[in-house]
Structure 1
């Protein structure tokens, strides 16, 4: 009994002792989650500030979309803009409060309460993401953040990531410290895309309704406010049902936001979304597009030039160009109508062209066209600046005869041999279009008739190094020169026009340029010009010009089609033949390219014609259309000279005259060649009184070819297949029917490259 009492006593004592606390697992879970949340927040803040450090700097010019660059002509007359439509920037004071309320109601109802970032909205967007709704990260963007997106980032998927969102938020916070809500809303309303190439709601009001924002109704303003979400599908003309739904959603949001009454909402919803739409804005766009089509090649070069100069083209820059709009329209008509030139239509490829018109005395590019029948393209292919096609014999004054007069003081009656001849240091023969040799002839005769062999002999006498210097001083930008370049290299019509302009103005080269001044939105004006530099002596320019007159006026000249009665002009033709591997695939009179370059004292015009795909069906020129380049030149120069003084060049005192075989020939004063000197082969010496560099060393240059032509294998390779093609240019207007291009394969033809001359940067033989 006593034992039981003791046992019961122990049990009682155990029960009376305090129990150990229970483990509160739930509380631990809560605390753990809280800790993780804090860590996550801290990590998120750390990541946010890390991204914020690399956020781009935003200037006011990035926010103020004053529109695309506006283009003016040579007379300061407004022509067009580099965008698809003129931009109508509307100041905040002129933006209706109804539109402001509509934008805020549909896009950011708490706009006037947050500081750039709406944390409530971000939380709502996060919940929406978890639920899989359409809110997502974009749903967390405030109007300020959307402005940042428009100004700095983009709406593309690639810019919808955590880093960009963090930077958007950071920039938005900073913007709200520097700009008022009214300014931010003004920036946004003027910057959003509104479809059809339109930016800004003010521009959209003019485009869709032909009115200013202040003249629009509640229904119309609500539509504009809702369009930025999907400008294409909310176009009231194209998709009226979608536009109506979106407009009504904006009106509902405005009512919910207490900025309009229920009766106003109901009345506005009953208005047809097409009410007030006009075609005037679209007509204006069509006119704008037509103007841009005429200007496309020129605008393309202006645009690239502006970007190189550091302009962003979206700040409403006023760009004053050198374009003569009347001349540009005429050039466009010449290229695209049959009023001036009859173009072939072989049904396979479009006959193409590239034309550059340059002011002879300033280098201003007055007009340019990069193709014909191009369709509705923007910044299309500009063949006027192509450097992938050989300029053929238009290179002869630049690389052969110009340097010969400049450095060797050759007279125009210098005798040159048109006999069997190979490119120096190679086994590759040089040929002409007729595959014949005419014996000795004067330099004048060789240039007028565009004989190839005398031209290469002249280049050999001068030396490639000095010829390259002379050509590059005229803007050719040749990295290397081989002898085949004496009858063509890969240069553009713009380069040729610029070079010939230097012959026209007495030897001063102006690099062709498009822009004369730019005024930015802040009123700063920067002027541009092309500083002339003397590229040759006056005597050289005059003597080349005198000989090139004969190319047009002489009965044996190759450019008689370009003749304009009573107009003082000089010029040169050029045709580029096919390489041997293609000659069996095209007619015997087929050529790849046809050029005409000429000038007056006022303008220099260079024309290229051909087909884009010269080795495909219908891609060749022949005797029926190879003179179209001359017809284009004549039509354009005839127009230009109607409004320009017509005067002949004045012979400088450094040029003398002498009669040779009944022809008035020219020579450099102090370097009168005797008959024996003038006919002493390819490299005759000047008179003993000559002290001009090059004249006393001519014989040495001709005999010691080690420095210019000893590398036969490399010269042969660089000549490529271009070197084996022959000239296909007529030596007179009347002989065009007999202009068959005969095969001119060199004895080492098997070693030549198998590429068409038209598709390489190498040169070819041609007039």
Structure 2
């Protein structure tokens, strides 16, 4: 009688209970679902990468009921709601059993149906507190469940429940728990796995032993119910116990580990996605269509890993790769690391600072050509060179440790000779080169040109792969610059002229000339392609960095190989480290697509040149208008350094020693290549002559070297520190 009274009270409460809010429709609930990730798609709509944004809960994409396994659905209904397809939201038989159990203080499964549980998930006011649901919450839950059954189909109720229910910790929804515990999608769950997952519903954060015991009970119920439906004897106890033992082992293993939750097929561009979301923050559940191409990304990543595996015996661990579309600037591929091969897989080699090596030389020669200091046919002296710098004597060496003598600019760039490059930067100046590189987007060059000095010609500065790649793309575009594009939603950037079109064309032609590379690399190498391409390699000091950056008419490909730790490689140059990957990616891109040589722009003419001294073979050569020559004679450029101040060096700091007699302390002012040299210090004539000794007076000074007509040849600033004049002494008079 008491049980009937309790049921009557329940029905009376149900009659007066009102829902907090009307139930939403199934389509509304599904449309409002948001995974905890931002999904980055490739340019064709293929998922590339998922990036976790919501740290409170881990949710994957909405799961259709048809994409769940039959054992999972069977275990769920058998354990949680056996009369799911018979009741209308409330299982009154279950209510009666629960009431009877409460009367006699016995333990029962409870009366909550899956529909009632879903009602609690949909309405925050019906959410159970730490002490469970109140009576009025239970009544509201019952009312909402009855309303849901009138509005939704049974399959919709099951589908929504499996997506919204929390299983363990932060895992929400069947896809998340299935991936986390078993590394598979729900359609592949077997009987044991299904039982373990369903066992978590009654105690999501229970210990392994309790979960295993519940899973064992579910497996027994499934086995017995199947036998009953098929009208055959129940399985032997030994069989049931064996299933329980297996489930117990699997439960402990599943709860002790944490497998990757997302699909490995959608983990192709982690470094790119992280950088993209730093630039364009997105809420969880957002979808971004990037400019990347998934097939190219997959191919480039696999090729880089295969090549690095072949170099493991040479202490090579890391690499990075970037592909740009020349016309649009679209980033087509971004491989930030070698993945599992690397001890620093999270370091993004595309944006990491690495020493540039010889990859800056094309921009040095472009600047010299544009300013008419040189032509592609000009001779440079590849012979021993010693330069005085603020840091001491600078004596650059070629990679091969030999000297070629007089070489043309074309050969010097193609063969990547160091000394001709240093002679060239003495003409254009480190500041001009640094400013040119900065204008091309190499913003990692934060210091002024004097900070880098002449070694900037050889790439003794840290740059980023993405910066270098886009600078080379600017050469490919005839000097037109725009920043890379990350998403298809971004409007195309306005092109800006940063380089002279005519000199850019000539530099590209030199980089494409396999004959010009022959002195160092031979006529046939991995840099030689069956289509038109221009490419430059680079190797930094102690073989810490390998580069290969080049372009066809349509694409720019940039590759870096080295170690993220900065540890040197063992006898690996750019030709062996980065260049094979560059060629492989470029070949893949150009398959079935022609890449013809560019047409000379206005301001470029061609002449047949001959070298009077036989330094190089006769050939056709490109010139800027007004610089044409057909006979190359005379001393190579750079064999004699330009007029200027040899000593003191700009930026130097000298110290006066108080313990040394002043007569023995003199700073030698040394000029080079100036007849009737005049020395002016701080605006006063100090003396004349190629060499002039001077007592180093404390302070900051401006020294000018002027020629016989008074024209300033060079101006330097330096400082003298140390002892000061004693009282009564006079400042030294000028000399000469």
Where 1:210 maps in the other structure, the secondary structure is: helix
The equivalent residue for 1:598 is 550
Q: How does 1:351-750 map to 2 (within 5 A)?
A: 351-372=317-338, 374=340, 380-387=346-353, 389-398=354-363, 400-408=364-372, 410-419=374-383, 420-422=385-387, 424-432=389-397, 433-477=399-443, 478-480=445-447, 481=449, 482-483=452-453, 484-488=455-459, 489-517=461-489, 527-550=490-513, 554-558=517-521, 560-578=524-542, 591-615=543-567, 619-622=568-571, 627-661=576-610, 662-672=618-628, 681-682=637-638, 703=643, 710-712=650-652
**2:549–2:582 contact (8 Å) kept in structure 1:** yes
Check 1:610–1:533 CA distance in 2 against 1; reply closer, same or farther (3 A cut): same
CA distance in 1, matches of 2:209, 2:111: 15
Q: Could you tell me the TM-score, scaled by structure 1's length?
A: 0.56
Q: Deviations over 1:578-632 (max 9, x none)?
A: 3xxxxxxxxxxxx3322222211111112222234454xxx42216996232222
What's the offset of the Cα at 1:562?
2.0
What's the offset of the Cα at 1:437?
4.1
What count of residue pairs does the alignment treat as equivalent? 519
CA distance in 1, matches of 2:302, 2:645: 51
CA distance in 2, matches of 1:672, 1:711: 39
**1:513–1:529 contact (8 Å) kept in structure 2:** yes
**2:35–2:59 contact (8 Å) kept in structure 1:** no
What's the offset of the Cα at 1:648?
1.0
CA distance in 1, matches of 2:486, 2:111: 42
**1:447–1:551 contact (8 Å) kept in structure 2:** no
CA distance in 1, matches of 2:462, 2:334: 19
The equivalent residue for 2:61 is 87
The equivalent residue for 1:325 is 294
Where 1:337 maps in the other structure, the secondary structure is: helix
Check 1:224–1:408 CA distance in 2 against 1; reply closer, same or farther (3 A cut): farther
What's the offset of the Cα at 1:680?
7.5
Where 2:503 maps in the other structure, the secondary structure is: helix
Whose helix proportion is higher, 1 or 2? 1
Task: List runs of 5+ in structure 1 lacking aligned partners.
Answer: 1-59, 126-138, 144-181, 249-269, 278-284, 518-526, 579-590, 685-698, 715-767
Relative contact order: is structure 1 or structure 2 higher (C-alpha 8 Å, sep ≥ 6)?
A: 1
CA distance in 2, matches of 1:458, 1:534: 24
CA distance in 2, matches of 1:73, 1:627: 31
CA distance in 1, matches of 2:128, 2:360: 72
Check 1:373–1:710 CA distance in 2 against 1; reply closer, same or farther (3 A cut): same
CA distance in 2, matches of 1:110, 1:194: 14
What's the offset of the Cα at 1:471?
0.8
What's the offset of the Cα at 1:498?
1.4
**2:305–2:341 contact (8 Å) kept in structure 1:** no
What's the offset of the Cα at 1:540?
2.1
**1:552–1:561 contact (8 Å) kept in structure 2:** no
Q: How does 1:227-306 map to 2 (within 5 A)?
A: 228-229=204-205, 233=208, 240-241=212-213, 289-292=263-266, 295=268, 298-306=269-277
The equivalent residue for 1:764 is none
CA distance in 1, matches of 2:499, 2:469: 16
